[in-house]
Amino acid sequence: MEIQLFDTTRDIDASRIDADPATVREQIREYESGERTEFDLEVDYLEGFTGRVMRAMVDIPAGETRTYGEVATALESASIAVGQACGRNPIPVIVPCHRIVGVDSLTGYAGGLDLKRRLLEHEGAAIPGEP
């Protein structure tokens, strides 16, 4: 399913969300307008390590970030494995992989670093490496 967010189009795997497309799009619109900071959608997480990382992502409040290393430490894993799991997130924005950053830079995002920066700015999060 395609969603529109900040003048970009993102694909998400709607089969992983227990809601109709209109509800998903409405919550995305509310997020973009600042009416919503969290999504009220039931998510079917992936199995295994990627699912564990996805659950860690949703535990990061809007306006905050965690580094790949912090998430890796919490999950007793490696930073690179966390980054790879972030890249496999089938429902970005709803499961906020944009909130996982490098120690001193934004570092990779399937939607592009400009969108990652915009999402973090929208949430009022500090951006690593920027004043």
- 99 burial via Cβ count (<10 Å: 0-12, 13-18, 19+): buried
CA–CA separation, 67 and 39 (whole Å): 22
As beta bridge partners, residue 11 has 2
Active-site amino acid positions:
97
95 and 89 Cβ atoms separated by less than 8 Å: yes
Query: Is the C-alpha dihedral spanning 24, 35, 90, 51 positive or negative?
Result: negative
CA–CA separation, 54 and 88 (whole Å): 9
